[in-house]
Amino acid sequence: SYNPSLLSEAKFLEYSNLSDKLHLREAINNILIPRIVGSGNHTIVRQYIEQSLQGLGWHVELDSFHDIAPIKGQLHFHNIIATLNPKAERFLVLACHYDSKYVPGVEFLGATDSAVPCAMLLNLAHVLQKQLQRFKETPLSLMLLFFDGEEAFQEWGPKDSIYGARHLAKKWQQERKLNRIDMLVLLDLLGAPDPAFYSFFANTESWYMRLQSVETRLAGLQLLERYASSGVVPRDPGRYFQSQAMRSSYIEDDHIPFLQRNVPILHIIPVPFPSVWHTPDDNASVIDYATTDNLALIFRLFALEYLMGNDEAK
């Protein structure tokens, strides 16, 4: 199976120095508004994501559909699918959801859930614009996927949750497109300090270990900022990607319909969830920018290492 070389020391250093922290903050601020499916704000955020990627030369399409939701009734959903090379044979897919939870009587912003993950993907496309250029021609390329309707409107269940992911997985199965996905890397609940990630799936453990290895290399080069943690917890407090697997934990999220159809999954979600999960406190004040910048850097290097594979990693 596919086993790309590690980035050489020179390339690793060169790509580690690429960043635009101001852009990441701007992207978060643009997305961090209540964006419930069907609202005007939801359209604003969707168009911001579309236009950001189109402006960088990505091919952007919408998977739009109607579905019935409790409380809200018929809603119009739009998954955003951005590709560098829509004709590629294989894709590394980085994904998140861009809708925010409907909480009656409360202004829920969803900073970690999932404004920060969305902004990280836009920032990756922006920072790596030059490096990603060649993947407009290659058979292995990159896809950024922004799911709509991840959140339940009443109570999480098989028919009231992950509306966009359920629709797209089924559609791509019918169109025989699922086998073009090398791996779906789903980012969720990111931005709070001291996250701990685990490997959930045996068939993507080697890729999880690549994320770990990127983290270790960056730490060794002292390229991660404020890289330490306070909590006394039964895990390695100094690192994000933990060394133990967590197979029993079945976290329901946008990856499930793809997992059920045998798409390899890397689920990047902290365990435990941030303490502000699904509360009004999941707002700008919870975002730890050192952690956010560090994770964004790790994901950028992981994506480059994966895509550049055997030709430029040396």
Catalytic residues: 150, 188
Instruction: In whole angstroms, give the CA distance from residue 28 to residue 46.
Output: 13
Using CA atoms, how far apart are residues 213 and 302, in angstroms rounded to an integer?
Answer: 9
d(CA 59, CA 82): 6
Q: Report the alpha-carbon distance of residue 91 to residue 57 in Å, rounded.
A: 17
Q: Which strand (E) or helix (H) includes residue 44?
A: helix 40-55
Q: How far apart (Å, rounded) are the C-alpha atoms in residues 227 and 297?
A: 13
Amino acid at 153: F
Query: Alpha-carbon distance 159 to 189, whole Å?
Result: 22
Q: For residues 279 and 107, give the distance between their C-alpha atoms in angstroms, rounded to a whole number.
A: 9
Residue with tokens 């967590």: 246
CA contacts within 13 A on the Cβ side of 61: 8
Beta bridge partners of 59: 83
Q: β-strands 90-97, 140-147: how paired?
A: parallel
Strand 73-83 relative to strand 140-147, pairing = antiparallel
Residue 266: strand, helix, or coil? strand
